[in-house]
Amino acid sequence: TIWPWNAIIFAYDEVLSFRILSVDSCIFKGLGSQIPVRRMIYQFAVFYRCQYSYTEIIVDNTTFENINLINSGEGALLIDGYYSNITLNKSAFNNVIGGAYIHNQGYNSHITINGSTFENCRANSYFSELAALNINAYSDSSADPNQYIITYNKFTNNVGYYTGGIYGRFHQGDWNIYNARNMTIDTFKESNSTSRKSIFVEFRINDQFDMSRYVDMKDLKLDDIYISSENKQNVPENEGTETVKDAIKEIINKKQESYIIVPTNEVYEESNIVITGDKQFILQPTQTSGEEIKPILQASTNQDSLMTVSGYSKVQIDGFVIAHINEDFADKPLLEMSGNSLLQLIGITVSPNKRTKDDKGIHIE
């Protein structure tokens, strides 16, 4: 039994910082779930003394198992880098309380997680945000950003405070809705999942919640709809007790493109939204929610279609209940498309029942 004061392998130089740490075909075993131990590997770059450490860390074909880090640090594998190139390849984390934690600052760094397995990993009480894999990366340059490659990994039965699999935190200001979506697509485009709620994305402005959503792996295969971050439009909260009328239509009529965010647990009555030409819109609630508080989208009268999309326009509707209140389906379909238009529906519930709203809440007729 080895009980180090800090870690079994502690890579550190207080003057220059080391250049390369390579761990290949090793096995690190703890003492089981009941007995806490120290970290297995801790790499620390002293970036406040060395401006550019350019460290390279390679962990290849290595196993971490039966490790309990309840009170002794952020991760069984802890990498604290600066301008670092980090590779975790064909390695395994099994029955670990406190998985792999990568913290990196500086630009043009490369973080690659490939062909590894994370099974039965849990967060510890010392660092409750930790998932099986936690990446906390800060880029100093938008022109030369960090690169993240996460491919051919397997995550099974992992539990964390926010998420069990991968938890990523990136420098404030680096992300907007569009490039975060693109990063998600690029990172996970070769992945599959048995769960619809595999990826969770949350946006905060000045540390205040703005919007969030789960991402279904199947959604990443859909055609891309590009909408610049400057064209995000929030529908304001409804301070009244009645349904909201034509709020979405009003935005669509005024805009060429818009990322329209609406509050949950609300009823939106729209009178035949018509989208022509080459417009683009995404409709999404502030957060992914259960069926009981999804926003409702319905035509204002029994005679109206809800939406008509034509030409080269593209529309994505995500996370709504769409109420089809028109009994004459043949003459007045709920949604109409023509030409080369695109309509994508994600996480939609279609209901035949109209909704109403009053001071007691939302009611189904």
Q: What is the pLDDT of residue 47?
A: 45
> What is the predicted pLDDT for the residue at 88?
93
Distance CA 83, CA 146 (A): 9
In the block, tokens 């048995």 appear at: 194
- The full DSSP string for 72-138 is S-S-SEEEEEES-EEEEES-EEEEEES-EEEEEESSS-EEEEES-EEES-B--SSSTT--SEEEEEE
pLDDT under 50: residue ranges of the chain: 46-51
Q: What's the pLDDT score for residue 50?
A: 43
Q: Which helix (H) or strand (E) holds 118?
A: strand 117-119
**pTM for the whole structure:** 0.57
What pLDDT is recorded for position 46? 44
Chain-wide mean pLDDT for the chain? 78
Task: Measure the CA–CA gap between 44 and 23, rounded to whole angstroms.
Answer: 15
